[in-house]
Copies of this chain bind each other. A is one copy, B any other.
Amino acid sequence: MKLLTVGSVAFDAIETPFGKTDKIIGGAGTYIVLTGAYFVKEQGVVSVVGGDFPKDTISMFQDKGVDVEGLQVKEDEKTFFWSGKYHNDMNVRDTLATELNVLGSFDPVLPEGYQEAEYVMLGNLQPTVQRTVIERMKKRPKLIVMDTMNFWMDSAWDELMKTISMVDVLSINDEEARQLSGEYSLKKAARKIMEMGPQFLIIKKGEHGALLFHKEEVFFAPALPLEEVFDPTGAGDTFAGGFIGYLAKTDDVSFENMKRAVIYGSALASFCVEQFGTEKLLDINPVELADRVQMFRDLVDVKGHI
């Protein structure tokens, strides 16, 4: 198996200045595998849902080449549910409800075929669950990418540190980088975080783009100025799915190739936010994607001598 993702498969209810949804399909794992599917045909997902989760969404995953043997269905329980509200400044959101349900007792079981996956994406989850996935691999993957959030810094610091020390790439936002390192300067923060274990650090800045750090090197990918951001939910997970998907497809984990992966991740995230939930992700045309990637390149392009 080329790519293995662990992450929540869930229901979301979202309110933004542009509208409101009932329960729709969401979860970090969902966004990651849907995005990964643009790059890799051999991917598996490790997650858990309840009996209330629509079977046709699981079939849709399969149609997109996602192996669902690792997706546990607990028929008598309920799926993880998150509800949130975004303000005019979409960088800020309030969580209205978090119902862990099946996720509360999640034991990530890796089917035989998953245990030698070359690329592993740890979507945002309890750090202990993320670590269990690493420990259940039969051999060390070529690359482990980990996403996390401030919630675990507040509630599970020691566990988080252990898991961070085992991964190659950590992906967090700017505020989280500051909290994790205790440094305000992102350059200093990056240095401290890379001392915790990861060789690479991605700092996501939402509408302000993303930074990729490695040793003393740094790369910046802008975000595209968009007409309208309808719903930022899943943008970070879509970014992660595009990032690791591109790396898995090209099978090259050099810093230079990671720059390209960051641009693909950014381009896909820019699609994600144009509609509610996963809607836009389900059907991006390859030409549309190539055009979008080119827009990211043009945005910073300066011709000739300076």
Closest B residue to A293 by beta carbon equals B306
> A302 to B260, Cβ gap below 8 A?
yes
Give chain A interface residues in 221-246, CB to chain B under 8 Å. 221-222, 225-229
Q: How far is the CA of A1 from the CA of B103 in the complex (A)?
A: 71
> B211 to A208, Cβ gap below 8 A?
no
Query: Given A222-B222, A225-B218, A263 and B302 touching (CB < 8 A)?
Result: yes
* Interface size, A (range): 20 to 34
Give chain A interface residues in 183-211, CB to chain B under 8 Å. 184-188, 190, 205, 208-209, 211
Q: What residues of B have a CB within 8 angstroms of the CB of A211 in the complex? A: 225
Is A95 an interface residue, CB under 8 A from the partner?
no
Instruction: Select A185's contact among B208, B220, B228, B293, beta carbons within 8 Å.
Output: B228
Query: Given A208-B208, A260-B306, A225 and B299 touching (CB < 8 A)?
Result: no
> A302 to B209, Cβ gap below 8 A?
no
Is A303 an interface residue, CB under 8 A from the partner?
yes
> B263 to A220, Cβ gap below 8 A?
no
Distance (whole angstroms) from the CB of A289 to the closest CB of chain B: 12
Q: What residues of B have a CB within 8 angstroms of the CB of A225 in the complex? A: 185-187, 190, 211, 218, 220
Distance (whole angstroms) from the CB of A265 to the closest CB of chain B: 12
Distance (whole angstroms) from the CB of A89 to the closest CB of chain B: 8
Is A88 an interface residue, CB under 8 A from the partner?
yes
Query: Given A209-B222, A222-B209, A187 and B227 touching (CB < 8 A)?
Result: yes
Interchain Cβ contacts under 8 Å between A and B, 11 examples: A185-B226, A185-B228, A186-B225, A187-B225, A188-B227, A209-B222, A211-B225, A220-B300, A222-B222, A293-B306, A300-B300
